[in-house]
Structure 1
Amino acid sequence: MKTPRLTPYLTFNGTCRAAMTFYQQCLGGDLMIQPFAGTPAAEQVGPEGQESVLHAILTTEDLVLMASDAGMHQITKGNMISLSVNCQSEEEIAALFRQFAEGGTIIMPLEDTFWGARFGMLTDQFGIDWMFNYDKPAAQ
């Protein structure tokens, strides 16, 4: 069974463009970024916020990730928001975990788990919490 598609939406306080560019470097895919400038929402952010991100979407074969800068809203980090990446191999989980950990904080290093997976958790350099999971093939 294929893992259900998850479409998380992230809100940043002015770092959306940098964050989404970083995630594209880690995950690949196509990245579309729409600034506030030239849209009806431009007046909400004033002259200093025109290049802030109104909407961004990163699309790969298996993932859709959407995000924006806060605009006029104040951002506070939640304590139970995580994004889970289900990996297809030991090599993939190791590479992604290493990339996302750069500049961040490892909460739980990659390790084998009691549920038959390799798993790890971290907070990336932008304060977003991630979980990485690779379900190992069952022993025969």
Structure 2
Amino acid sequence: MSETSPIQIAPGETGEPRGGVISYLMVEGARKAAAFYENAFGAKEVASYPEDEQGRTMYLHLYINGGSVMMSDPYPEYGQPAAKPAGVTLTLCVDDVDFWWNRASKAEGMEIVMPLEKMFWGDRYGQLRDPFGFEWAIVGK
């Protein structure tokens, strides 16, 4: 990035992507979603592009549980219309499943899709749906 880049990096961070596969979510109200993920999952915003005159964000980068999640608002004028999330579950593999489940499931607007239970493969697993329509699985011991 050049010194004239409008991307804003959080103090003390590089804003570098983390993880082998990175989710890039398109969500109406990306800033609102980032605040929700901070509350539900301990997300930390590490980089973002300033909002446009319509209050939309074209780039917002979070760290959640050591990995990257990126997002933007829809931009229909550039072929990126709003769409209901479907066919994807974001999975958090964690050491302390009770801590992560309790924090996330108590976040206002979070819906339990599948209660946290011991699964046949030995881990505990549950699914939640956030107020933006994304499904999240939490799995661990």
Give me the TM-score of the superposition, normalised by structure 1: 0.73
**Larger Rg belongs to:** 1
Tell me how far 1:106 sits from its aligned partner.
1.4
Q: Structure 1: where are the runs of 5+ without partners?
A: 38-46
Whether the 8 Å CA contact 2:105–2:112 is kept in 1: the answer is: no
Tell me the residue number matched to 2:22.
7
Q: In structure 1, how many angstroms separate the alpha carbons of the residues matched to 2:106 and 2:20? A: 22
Identity among equivalent pairs (%): 27
Q: Secondary structure at the match of 2:109?
A: coil
Tell me how far 1:25 sits from its aligned partner.
2.5
Alignment of 1:1-140 (within 5 A): 5-13=20-28, 15-31=29-45, 32-37=47-52, 47=53, 49=54, 51-60=55-64, 62-72=66-76, 73-100=80-107, 102-134=108-140, 136=141
Tell me how far 1:65 sits from its aligned partner.
0.7
Q: Structure 2: where are the runs of 5+ without partners?
A: 1-18
In the TM superposition, what whole-angstrom CA distance separates every residue of 1:39-88 from its partner, at most 9, and x where no partner exists?
xxxxxxxx4x2x21010001256111100001223222242111000111
Moved over 6 A (4+): none
Q: Normalized per residue, which structure has more helix?
A: 1
Whether the 8 Å CA contact 1:97–1:132 is kept in 2: the answer is: no
The one-letter code sitting in structure 2 at the alignment partner of 1:111 is: E
Give me the TM-score of the superposition, normalised by structure 2: 0.73
